[in-house]
Amino acid sequence: MAQLEPNLEKRNLKYKFGDWVSNLQVDFCYSISSSSRIGYFGTSGGIQRFDVLKKEFISPLTTSDGFIGNKAYIVAFDRLNSTLWSASDKGISFWSEISERVRNISNSTILIKIPQITFEDQLFITNIGFGEGKVFFRIQAFQTYYLSTQANGSGFLSLVEDVDLPPNIEWFGWSQNTEIEFESNWNLEGNFRMDLQEKAFVGTEFEKYRITFKHQDRFGMTYFGTNSNLLAVGRTVGKFLKPYQIAPLKKEVTSILYNGNELVLGSKFPHRKFKGFSIFDYQTNSWNYFDSREDYNIREDRVLKIKKIGNTYFFGTLNGLVTYNSETDYWNQLTLASGLADEEINDIIKVGSEVWLLTVRGISVVTLNGSLILSKDLRKDFRDKEFYETVENKETIWLASSSGIFIYDKKEKTFELFTKFGERTIKPSYNPVKNLALNKTHLFWNNDVGVFKMDLKTQQVEILPLKRYPLGEKIRDILVDSGNLWLATNEGLFEFEFKNQKWTHYTEKDGLPSDNLFCLAWDLDFIKIGSDNGITNFYWNNPRRIKN
């Protein structure tokens, strides 16, 4: 048995487990395994985990936790070593349930071990097995190959002939589950029923979730995976089964509403099945979904901005304003036919008894008097201007536009176009501003030139140093507090520390599932980050982490 050099790659050790947590779109469950406490679902959006004692899903395991890939085709739990092995589209990951640390073996390393396989797309790991203190990998290419190493992850990776395989290997993976037995005597909780003929769960709208994997363990638990985001967990004795819908239903997250009790996610990208938005309820620790009411010709599948006023959600979309009252279950939509200046709504702000809708052709006003009534354009001369975002304090509202920054005095109810750069007057046409952020002392914005900071008392303006990072138009969103400025860009997340005048650049190497970011939201010591690959929670203020 020829021993070969292993390549157990560790994740970035300056981060602790939980510093980065990502929830990705899940549309298929490939494999299931379990320990005495946790059920592990290998899915298209990472490894989903069900805590048996808490009776709820907890944070998934993804590349944000250091795993090498997010498409977890096989999960296999080794009970003797309390370790989880998984095979993904990028390679093999080894996770300790006790230490919560992960190591990886990349596909490129596996190709070195098996020189007969030339390209990564020819490599497919079909099974993971345990026996005689080792872990085995069955790899299918032009023929079947076997690799093995010590089950505790400490040994060398070796190529094994099939004749040398131990006879008592416990295999996990594809061949293990060719025929799924689906009994008829399960008692389902919630609004789902079984279709025994098609081996599927059926929802209230007759949508079907075909069962793709079933796992029954020695601890009295049974787990089901489907070809969607529906996963089911039940007690084998008593036959009580509860389906759970998990994760955002859309891959891209371009708008976030977070208020401490709920997290609402929207996307401006259309989806082939789901045309709505996802809500995570922190009180019930569960996901809920609202689909478009196309029977009323209401579509909110291309969301640019989300606000909640009272019991009403406001969705600024590419197709107009959509509102939903959660108390009355009432939907409404305003479009060009209703008198909107334009249907592309970039931001929403409540001003007194009015709601201002910032569009690409001015600002439309909606009055709040029990029902939504579109009353007027805020100003006719705004029709030739694009408006993008607002921030406010007690006295002032700042509005980002294609002509620069407009300042609205709440007391005087007057507008002024800000055109000062220190003592120098600048032409508004040179200053399209798309993003704004505000703390107690300064206003921040960006344009194609860079990032600017204005003192609210003196109105002195300075540009932040960005020589190393010429971002400009790459910035999609800005957040600021008293000590840090955060930029969401298509090249990752940037943090600027005011005290040290220092930039930090966060990418996929740190824990982002993608560097293509769209939006940010505060959550105390956490930042919620929307990207083209889900929603990420970053514990940026972890006092245990050494930054440098």
What 3-state DSSP class applies to 428? Answer: helix
**514 or 335, greater pLDDT:** 514
Structural domain harbouring 93: 3-177
pTM over 0.85: yes
Q: Per-residue confidence at 270, pLDDT binned at 50, 70, 90?
A: confident
Would residue 308 count as lying in a domain? Answer: no
pLDDT tens-place string over residues 183-236:
777 888 888 888 888 889 998 777 899 999 999 999 999 999 999 999 999 998
Q: What is the residue whose two structure tokens read 């700042």?
A: 398
Cα separation, 472 vs 495, whole angstroms: 15
Q: What is the pLDDT of residue 5?
A: 38
Structure tokens at 351: 């001003």
**CATH number for the domain harbouring residue 165:** 2.130.10.10
Structure tokens at 468: 């190393």
Would residue 517 count as lying in a domain? Answer: no
Q: What is the pLDDT of residue 79?
A: 92
Q: Per-residue confidence at 373, pLDDT binned at 50, 70, 90?
A: low
Which amino acid, residue 528? K
First to last CA, the chain: 43
Q: What is the mean pLDDT of residues 100-126?
A: 85
Write down the mean pLDDT value for the chain. 86
Q: What is the pLDDT of residue 467?
A: 62
Sheet holding 354-359, edge to edge: 345-351, 354-359, 362-368, 372-377
Cα separation, 166 vs 149, whole angstroms: 13
**Radius of gyration from C-alpha coordinates of the chain:** 27
Under 8 Å between Cβ of 286 and 280: yes
Q: What is the mean pLDDT of residues 510-519?
A: 96
**Running DSSP on this structure, what letter comes out for residue 468?**
S
Would residue 408 count as lying in a domain? Answer: no
Bridge partners (DSSP) of residue 444 are: 437, 453
Would residue 129 count as lying in a domain? Answer: yes
Contacts of 246 (CB under 8 A, 6+ apart): 26, 48, 57, 229, 230, 231, 287
**508 or 144, greater pLDDT:** 508
Q: Per-residue confidence at 298, pLDDT binned at 50, 70, 90?
A: low
Q: Is the pLDDT of residue 297 over 70?
A: no
Residue 460 CA, distance from chain mean position: 38
Other Cβ atoms within 10 Å of 90 Cβ, number: 18
Closest CA to 147 of 325, 7, 248: 7
Would residue 29 count as lying in a domain? Answer: yes
Q: What is the pLDDT of residue 462?
A: 86
Cα separation, 197 vs 158, whole angstroms: 44
Other Cβ atoms within 10 Å of 289 Cβ, number: 14
Structure tokens at 213: 């994997």
Q: What is the pLDDT of residue 269?
A: 83
Q: Per-residue confidence at 295, pLDDT binned at 50, 70, 90?
A: low
Q: Per-residue confidence at 296, pLDDT binned at 50, 70, 90?
A: low
Would residue 82 count as lying in a domain? Answer: yes
Q: What is the pLDDT of residue 472?
A: 62
297: left (phi over 0), alpha (psi -120 to 50) or beta: left
Q: What is the pLDDT of residue 1?
A: 33
Q: What is the residue whose two structure tokens read 């080894």?
A: 94
Indicate if the alpha-carbon torsion angle 332, 333, 338, 342 is positive or negative. positive
Cα separation, 492 vs 512, whole angstroms: 8
**50 or 421, greater pLDDT:** 50
Q: Per-residue confidence at 329, pLDDT binned at 50, 70, 90?
A: confident
**Pairing state between β 442-446 and 475-480:** unpaired
Q: Is the pLDDT of residue 436 over 70?
A: yes
Bridge partners (DSSP) of residue 540 are: none
Q: What is the pLDDT of residue 522?
A: 93
Closest CA to 172 of 91, 75, 78: 75
Other Cβ atoms within 10 Å of 521 Cβ, number: 19
Cα separation, 397 vs 393, whole angstroms: 7
pLDDT tens-place string over residues 394-414:
999 999 999 889 999 999 999
Long-range contacts of 188-193 (CB under 8 A, 24+ apart): 188/241, 188/242, 188/243, 189/240, 189/241, 189/242, 189/243, 190/242, 190/243, 192/230, 192/243
Q: What is the pLDDT of residue 257?
A: 96
Q: Per-residue confidence at 178, pLDDT binned at 50, 70, 90?
A: low
Strand ranges (E), 44-179: 46-51, 56-61, 72-78, 83-88, 91-96, 102-106, 124-131, 134-140, 144-150, 157-160, 170-173
Other Cβ atoms within 10 Å of 29 Cβ, number: 27
Would residue 11 count as lying in a domain? Answer: yes
Under 8 Å between Cβ of 111 and 120: yes
Q: What is the pLDDT of residue 449?
A: 78
Which amino acid, residue 396? T
Q: What is the pLDDT of residue 203?
A: 85
Q: What is the pLDDT of residue 428?
A: 44
Other Cβ atoms within 10 Å of 507 Cβ, number: 12
Other Cβ atoms within 10 Å of 394 Cβ, number: 6
Q: Is the pLDDT of residue 448 over 60?
A: yes
pLDDT tens-place string over residues 56-107:
999 999 999 999 999 999 999 999 999 999 999 999 999 999 999 899 998 8
Other Cβ atoms within 10 Å of 467 Cβ, number: 7
Please report which helix (H) or strand (E) contains residue 109, including its range.
helix 107-113
Would residue 416 count as lying in a domain? Answer: no
What 3-state DSSP class applies to 156? Answer: coil
How many domains are there within the chain?
Answer: 1
Q: Is the pLDDT of residue 135 over 80?
A: yes
Q: Is the pLDDT of residue 181 over 90?
A: no
Q: What is the mean pLDDT of residues 135-143?
A: 86
Contacts of 93 (CB under 8 A, 6+ apart): 66, 67, 68, 69, 85, 86, 102, 103, 104, 105
